[in-house]
Chains A and B, each alone.
Chain A
Amino acid sequence: MRGNLDRFVDTFFNAKVMLKYLPDILSGVVVTIELALFIVVTGIAAGLALALLRSLGIRPLNWLIIGIVDLFRSLPPLVVIVLIYFGLPSVDLSPSGFVSTWLSLALVLMAFSEEIFWAGITSVAKGQWEAARSTGLSFGQTLMNVVLPQAFRLTIPPLTNRTIAITKGTALGTVVAVTEILGQASSAMSNSYNPSPLMMGAAAYVVLFFPVVVAARWVETKFAWKR
Chain B
Amino acid sequence: MNRPIVDARGLHKHFGALHVLKGVDLRVAERELVFVIGPSGSGKSTLLRCLNRLEEPSSGSVVVDGIDMLDPRTDINHARQRIGMVFQSFNLYPHMTALGNVTLALRKVAGKSRASADALGKAALERVGLADRAGHTPGQLSGGQQQRVAIARSIALEPRVMLFDEPTSALDPELVGSVLEVMRSLRESGMTMIVVSHEMGFARNAADRVVFMDEGSIVEQGPPAAIFEHPAHERTRSFIGQIQQH
Contact = CB atoms under 8 A, between A and B. Distances in A.
Bind each other: yes
A125 B88 CA distance: 13
A175 B79 CA distance: 60
B137 A225 contact: yes
A130 interface: yes
Given A136-B80, A145-B108, A146-B93, A131 B139 contact: no
Nearest to A127: B91
A161 interface: no
A135 B52 CA distance: 10
A135 B81 contact: yes
Nearest to B136: A226
B89 A127 contact: yes
| Closest 5 pairs (CB-CB, A-B) | A131-B91, A135-B105, A127-B91, A136-B109, A226-B139
A149 B94 CA distance: 10
B73 interface: no
A226 B92 contact: no
A138 interface: yes
Nearest to B150: A131
A56 B95 CA distance: 23
B12 interface: no
16 contacts: A127-B91, A128-B91, A130-B91, A131-B85, A131-B150, A134-B154, A136-B77, A136-B78, A136-B157, A137-B105, A138-B77, A141-B108, A141-B109, A225-B137, A225-B139, A227-B139
Given A133-B54, A135-B104, A145-B108, 19 more contacts: A127-B87, A127-B89, A128-B93, A130-B54, A130-B91, A131-B93, A131-B150, A132-B93, A134-B85, A135-B80, A135-B105, A135-B153, A136-B77, A137-B105, A137-B109, A141-B109, A146-B104, A225-B137, A225-B139
Contact of B92 (A131, A136, A141): A131
Interface in B90-128: 91-95, 104-105, 108-110
A150 interface: yes
B83 interface: yes
Nearest to B110: A136
For the side of the interface on B, what is the size category? 20 to 34
A227 B140 CA distance: 8
A30 to B, nearest CB: 38
Contacts of B93: 128, 131-132, 146, 150
A153 interface: yes
A153 B54 CA distance: 27
B20 to A, nearest CB: 17
Interface residues of A, number: 21
A128 B91 CA distance: 5
With a 10 A CB-CB cut-off, give which of A127, A128, A135, A225 has the most chain B CB atoms.
A135
Nearest to A224: B95
A1 B85 CA distance: 79
Contacts of B137: 225-226
A225 B94 contact: yes
A127 B110 CA distance: 22
Contacts of A150: 93-95
Nearest to B107: A145
A152 to B, nearest CB: 9
Contacts of B85: 130-131, 134
Interface in A143-168: 145-146, 149-150, 153
Interface string B43-82: 0000000001010000000000000000000000111110
A135 B117 CA distance: 14
Contacts of B78: 136
B2 to A, nearest CB: 26
A25 to B, nearest CB: 43
B108 A153 contact: no
Interface in B134-150: 137, 139-140, 150
B190 to A, nearest CB: 21
Nearest to A135: B105
Interface string A200-227: 0000000000000000000000000111
B95 A137 contact: no
Nearest to A145: B104
Interface in B195-209: none
Nearest to A144: B108
A149 B150 contact: no
A125 B138 CA distance: 15
Nearest to A225: B95
